[in-house]
Amino acid sequence: MKETKGKPEKSESPMEPVLDAIETRVEALVAVVKGLAAENARLKSDLAAAKAAGDAGGEAAMLLARYEDERNAVRERIERVLKALEAGTGGEKA
Do 33 and 64 form a contact (C-beta atoms < 8 A)?
no
**Is residue 31 one of the residues assigned to a domain?**
yes
pLDDT at 2: 45
CA distance 79 to 30: 12
Band of pLDDT at residue 10, cut at 50, 70 and 90: low
pLDDT at 23: 93
Band of pLDDT at residue 4, cut at 50, 70 and 90: very low
**Is residue 4 one of the residues assigned to a domain?**
no
- List pLDDT tens digits, range 41-57: 999 898 888 777 765 66
**Is residue 57 one of the residues assigned to a domain?**
yes
* Domain count within the chain: 1
Segments forming the whole domain that contains residue 49: 16-87
- List pLDDT tens digits, range 21-42: 999 999 999 999 999 999 999 9
**Is residue 93 one of the residues assigned to a domain?**
no
